[in-house]
Amino acid sequence: MGKKRDYYEILGVSRDAKADEIKKAYRKLAVQHHPDKNPGDHSAEDKFKELGEAYEALSDPDKRAAYDRYGHAAFSGGMASGGGGGFHDPMDLFSQVFGSAFGGGFEEFFGGGRSQRSGKQRGSDLRYDLEITLEEAASGVEKELEIERNVPCETCGSKGSKGSGGARTCQSCGGRGVVARQAGIFIQQSTCPECRGAGATISDPCPTCRGDGRVQRDSRIKLRIPVGVDTGNRLRSSGNGDAGVRGGEAGDLYVFLHVRDHDVFERDGADLFCEVPLPFTVAALGGELQVPSLDGQSSIKIPAGTQGGTVFRLREKGMLALSSKRRGDLHVRAQVEVPTRLNSEQQEKLRAFAASIGDHNSPMQEGFFQKAKRFFDL
């Protein structure tokens, strides 16, 4: 077991803090870390318990005096008679502090107590990974997703009961959905086994959903994919997650997008890149080169003497940026293609051509060897 933190440090107050300062600090932090406000967050739950213990010790003059003198030992077995004693359920302590300030109690303060006591709970959010093509990302597309999720039970109308009885506050946990048990100076809190955390029980459960108010089914959901999405983008489909327990609010569906690798184009944001073979003769003499784009074929004017690796930019032939009217560019890298499988007549003509131009029509070669000569000091 780790070393216990100082109670003053937990509440963020000085050792000479007044009673109202201690109460103010507790109220602020307890609201922040209350389990109802942080469902499923065990660290917040532990922090809430720690705050309750610290406040109970420092808000009681006798306990505070004992703590100032003996520290945490004041509340261990042998020292308990010195003003220590055990600690109360942190939920009850919270209710005592906030009850008078918020009329109906802390449940209404969080806006979730009434729902909890009726057994209603918000449904879980769901995740769906969707792969689309680059063309679909460029133009936008509507997809129909098939997912397995909890949907409202039609037999009982989401009530969970087969009759008119409905949900009743759980007697074991008083509607909180959790039960607490004191073990020494610690409070152990766990999900109520009677209502399974719902805060309410059903005396006549629906035979179809067994009192849950929802059943698992395959669902088809239509989703519009906007123009310009990219891998890693996430779309939220509100209310298309799991249905809530006994008529509770439905969760949301989060769709994570993955754009499939393309055979021709590579993407960087709104810009597209591709490599296109350039015939040797067109590179030498110049001419027109047809290149692919998302809009179909586009034409590039190739200057005479174009070298391999030259990049041509076609403005606004890329992707539309997400949530923008700006369109990226298409960058085409020309890869000069050397002819292969020449017959003897073609080879002879090519040798004659090479002899006729000499070494002065190859500027890249000439420049390279000039640099090499300097490097080797030849």
Rounded distance, CA 243 to CA 196, Å? 17
Residue 324: count other Cβ atoms within 10 Å of its Cβ: 10
Rounded distance, CA 140 to CA 122, Å? 32
% the chain with pLDDT above 70: 81
pLDDT at 78: 43
Strands (E), the chain: 126-132, 141-152, 167-169, 178-183, 186-191, 200-202, 214-225, 234-237, 253-259, 266-268, 271-279, 287-293, 296-302, 311-314, 330-337
Is 87's pLDDT higher than 80?
Answer: no
In degrees and rounded to multiples of 5, residue 341 shows phi and psi of 55, 45
Rounded distance, CA 48 to CA 32, Å? 9
% the chain with pLDDT above 90: 53
pLDDT per residue over 118-150, tens digit each?
668 889 999 999 999 999 999 999 999 999 999
Mean pLDDT of 69-83: 63
pLDDT per residue over 369-378, tens digit each?
566 666 666 5
pLDDT at 82: 40
Mean pLDDT of 90-109: 53
Rounded distance, CA 100 to CA 332, Å? 72
**SS3 call for 292:** strand
CATH number of 7-111: 1.10.287.110
Which range (78-92, 111-125, 186-200) has the least confidence?
78-92
10 contacts 51 by C-beta, under 8 angstroms: yes
228 contacts 322 by C-beta, under 8 angstroms: yes
pLDDT at 191: 83
- DSSP structure class, residue 103: T
Is 207's pLDDT higher than 50?
Answer: yes
50 contacts 5 by C-beta, under 8 angstroms: yes
Class of domain 266-340: mainly beta
pLDDT, mean over the chain = 84
Residue-level length of the chain:
378
pLDDT at 76: 65
Rounded distance, CA 378 to CA 372, Å? 8
Residue 353: count other Cβ atoms within 10 Å of its Cβ: 10
Rounded distance, CA 88 to CA 93, Å? 7
Rounded distance, CA 246 to CA 153, Å? 9
Residues 288/293/297/298 CA torsion (nearest 10 deg): -40
Q: Global pTM?
A: 0.61
- DSSP structure class, residue 88: -
CA 271 to each of CA 209, 277, 317, 321, 322: distance values in angstroms, whole numbers, following the listed order: 51, 20, 8, 9, 12
What is the separation of C-alpha 365 from the centre of its chain, rounded to a whole number of angstroms? 54
Domain ranges of the chain: 7-111, 126-259, 266-340, 347-378
Rounded distance, CA 58 to CA 10, Å? 11
CATH number of 126-259: 2.10.230.10
pLDDT per residue over 12-61, tens digit each?
999 999 999 999 999 899 888 887 777 667 788 889 989 999 999 999 99
